[in-house]
Structure 1
Amino acid sequence: MGTKENAELVRRGYEAFSAGDMATLGEVFAADAVWHVAGRSVLAGKKQGRDAILGYFGEMGTRSGGSLKVTVQEIIGGENRTVALQHTEAENNGKNMDADGALAFQIRDGKITEVREFFDDTAQGDAFWA
């Protein structure tokens, strides 16, 4: 796949995430994909495998009381890596999250194989997801 196809794969994943379409999300990730979450919150750490990644997404939805909203600002495609710039908002139990971030995707054979998640204020995320 080329840069355009990789960017479209990532965009398809974001659209599925926003729609709560777990079937499509399952299709964009390789079975052995890995997702790395920075920080020290209960959600931080490595998610090993597609099922663990989908479980992580579900946990974010639960912990945000369903208020989580991720807005893609830009997707920059590459041959093997693609970067997405995003804005994340959520509120729950009197806590708010309002953060910009970047996700670095590694893509192989038309599937996302690894993601590294970074935010401009990791401490804010840690406090929100606590």
Structure 2
Amino acid sequence: MGAVENRETVRRIYAAMAQGDLTAFGGAVHPDYVWRLAGHASWSQRFEGQEAVRSRLLKPLFALFATQYRAQAVNIVAEGDFVVAEVRGDVMTRRGDRYNNEYCLVFRFRGDRIAELVEYCDTDLIERVLGPYDTAVAPG
């Protein structure tokens, strides 16, 4: 696939996520894809493979939310196998706090699917609103 097709894949993902539909993302990733949260906060980790991303990141993260998570792409740029998306999230936590992080997401494609996602965001907001990773994702 080329940059135009890769950009369209990311556009479709965020068009769906703006409506609260998270399924488009799952269908666009390789089974062995990597999600890395950049930075030096407790959430700044590397998750390898769909199962690890789902069980160690997404499932516990979404359990913290009281409302449907929505995300909207503000800007999308693509070149070669890479797509960069500026994204704004919107959700309320179960504790009643707004968690509206802003992201710069770098997607690397292999063929027609996402092989790697690197997330840059406000890690201070994550720690303040969601808490430290180990505490936030602990079964409760």
Query: What TM-score bracket applies, with the shorter chain setting the length?
Result: 0.7 to 0.9
Please name the residue that 2:10 is paired with. Answer: 10
Tell me how far apart the structure 2 counterparts of residues 66 and 7 of structure 1 sit (CA, whole Å): 28
Instruction: Check whether the contact 1:90–1:98 (CA below 8 A) recurs between aligned residues.
Output: yes
How far apart are 1:48 and its partner, in Å? Answer: 0.7
Structure 1 residues 26, 98: closer, same or farther in 2, change over 3 A? closer
Q: Which moved more, 1:53-62 or 1:102-111?
A: 53-62
Tell me how far apart the structure 2 counterparts of residues 57 and 15 of structure 1 sit (CA, whole Å): 19
How far apart are 1:109 and its partner, in Å? Answer: 0.7
Please give the TM-score of this superposition, normalised by the length of structure 1: 0.82
Please name the residue that 2:35 is paired with. Answer: 35
Tell me how far apart the structure 1 counterparts of residues 90 and 67 of structure 2 sit (CA, whole Å): 11
SS of residue in 2 equivalent to 1:101:
strand
Q: Between Structure 1 and Structure 2, which shows a larger proportion of strand residues?
A: 1
Deviations 1:66-110 (CA, angstroms, capped at 9, x unpaired) = 343211101111111100001122222132223322000000111
SS of residue in 1 equivalent to 2:98:
strand
Tell me how far apart the structure 2 counterparts of residues 95 and 88 of structure 1 sit (CA, whole Å): 13
Instruction: Check whether the contact 2:84–2:107 (CA below 8 A) recurs between aligned residues.
Output: yes
Say how many residue pairs are matched. Answer: 126
Please give the TM-score of this superposition, normalised by the length of structure 2: 0.77
How far apart are 1:60 and its partner, in Å? Answer: 2.6
Please name the residue that 2:134 is paired with. Answer: none
- 1:1-130 matches, within 5 Å, as 1-17=1-17, 18-21=20-23, 24-38=24-38, 39-41=40-42, 43-55=43-55, 56-92=57-93, 93-119=95-121, 121-130=122-131
Any unmatched runs of 5+ in structure 2? Answer: 132-140
- CA RMSD across the alignment: 2.0
How far apart are 1:12 and its partner, in Å? Answer: 2.7
Instruction: Check whether the contact 2:33–2:48 (CA below 8 A) recurs between aligned residues.
Output: yes
Tell me how far apart the structure 2 counterparts of residues 2 and 30 of structure 1 sit (CA, whole Å): 17
How far apart are 1:2 and its partner, in Å? Answer: 1.4
Instruction: Check whether the contact 1:26–1:54 (CA below 8 A) recurs between aligned residues.
Output: no
Instruction: Check whether the contact 1:60–1:68 (CA below 8 A) recurs between aligned residues.
Output: no
Deviations 1:11-69 (CA, angstroms, capped at 9, x unpaired) = 23334543132xx433210111000123524x441111022223433333211223432
